[in-house]
Amino acid sequence: MPEPFYEPDAAVAAVAATGAGEATDPAVGEGGTRGKRPEGGPQGTGPVGPDPSAASGERARSLWSDAWRDLRRNPVFIVSGLVITFLVLISVWPSLIASGNPLQCDLARAQEGSQPGHPFGFNGQGCDVYTRTVYGARTSVTVGVCATLGVALLGSVLGGLAGFFGGAWDALLSRVTDVFFGIPVVLGGLVFLSVVTSTTVWPVIGFIVLLGWPQIARIARGSVITVKQNDYVQAARALGASNARMLLRHVTPNAVAPVIVVATIALGTYISLEATLSYLGVGLKPPTVSWGIDLSAASPYVRNAPHMLLWPAGALAVTVLAFIMLGDAVRDALDPKLR
């Protein structure tokens, strides 16, 4: 059984180690010391050298430090991290690489191809495709990050509490998640978002959180059930630790890794879901700049002006791929079976 990656309380560690401590030597040594065995292995095996890690003052590496060391050596993590960093940068400051206005259009240039100063050409309304592609990253990253945070928070709290306390609460949550799993995501979006008139990203984020939390809740529930059976949690319970302390101090730090992995992979899925709903006309709506909206507007002109479709679609594909690659790298680093 793997040891916890945090520093347990001294009392908890002592109780958890009951029965595994070193035996003491009742003999009285030359220096007047009693009950102290000389350095070395078990009696009769002779002395052994000091622990190198103890001599150097090095602390045992934790799960997170080992994971970070593996991630730094993983080319998939490096490439995806650079792509995501670039996407976040242009989402915050799109004017760094695009000086135009995504809403400024000239019908005289509708469907024209690449020109000096306009490398991606123009769309059906005469808007610069390059500028709209750059500004569309802000919407996709905002929806993906906010939806992932909401899903992870809601699902972790509900699933973690159900797994820790069990009983009727656990049974109720299991039945509710079964109901939500039976709702088709696209169909649910068509029904839910068709009655929303807001042009902001928040209705889409709220819909994704509403249908996305059951997956995280099941992952969190299973992880908490596994962790709460470990010796250090049982030791804390035996010492009279409150449920809140056991959850915050002992269970949550050791059960959060699977949630992080699933949420990281799901982030790319949420970005593609937003683009799908916007393409169908029920997600984001103009004048919001979105890759899904641009794909929907470009689909009738795919034969005459394919550049209108290829650039937003390529940006969407690279973004989703980068987040999925990041999730795969994090999963490999945090999975004990692959370590």
Are 140 and 290 in contact by the 8 Å Cβ rule? The answer is yes
Is residue 262 a part of any domain in this protein?
yes
The first and second tokens of residue 241, run together, are 């630790």
pTM of the model: 0.77
Check residue 324 and give its pLDDT: 92
Residue type (1 letter), 13: A
Tally the C-alpha atoms within 13 A of residue 23's C-alpha that lie toward its C-beta. Answer: 6
Going residue by residue through the chain (339 aa), what tens digit of pLDDT does each one get? 444 444 455 544 444 444 444 444 444 444 444 444 444 444 444 444 444 444 444 555 676 788 888 888 899 999 999 999 999 999 999 989 988 889 989 888 888 888 888 999 999 889 999 999 999 999 999 999 999 999 999 999 999 999 988 888 889 988 999 899 888 888 888 888 888 877 789 999 999 999 999 999 999 999 999 998 888 888 888 888 888 888 888 888 888 888 998 999 899 999 999 999 999 988 898 888 999 999 999 998 888 889 999 999 999 999 999 999 998 898 888 876 655
In a domain, 20, yes or no: no
Residue 207 lies in a domain: yes
Residue 287 located in a structural domain:
yes
CATH number for the domain harbouring residue 147: 1.10.3720.10
- Token look-up 């394919």 returns 306
One-letter-per-residue 3-state SS of the chain: CCCCCCCCCHHHHHHHCCCCCCCCCCCECCCCCECCCCCCCCCCCCCCCCCHHHHCCCCCCCHHHHHHHHHHCCHHHHHHHHHHHHHHHHHHCHHHCCCCCCCCECHHHCCCCCECCECCCECCCCEEHHHHHHHHHHHHHHHHHHHHHHHHHHHHHHHHHHHHHCHHHHHHHHHHHHHHHCCCHHHHHHHHHCCCCCCCCHHHHHHHHHHHHHHHHHHHHHHHHHHCCCHHHHHHHHCCCCHHHHHHHHHHHHHHHHHHHHHHHHHHHHHHHHHHHHHCCCCCCCCCCCHHHHHHHHHHHCCCCCHHHHHHHHHHHHHHHHHHHHHHHHHHHHCHHHC
With respect to residue 323, please indicate whether it lies within any of the assigned structural domains.
Answer: yes
- CA dist 180 and 174 (Å) reads 10
Q: Are 136 and 294 in contact (CB under 8 A)?
A: yes
Q: Tell me the C-alpha distance between 210 and 183, whole Å.
A: 11
Cis peptide bond prior to 336, omega within 30° of 0:
no
| 245-to-157, 158, 236, 250, 252 alpha-carbon distances in Å | 15, 17, 9, 7, 10
Range of the domain at 232: 61-106+122-338
Task: Give how many domains the chain has, as a whole number.
Answer: 1
Residue 177, in any domain of the structure: yes
Residue 213 lies in a domain: yes
- In whole angstroms, give the CA distance from residue 122 to residue 107: 9
pLDDT for 309 equals 92
CA distance 63 to 66: 5
Q: Does 28 reside within a domain?
A: no
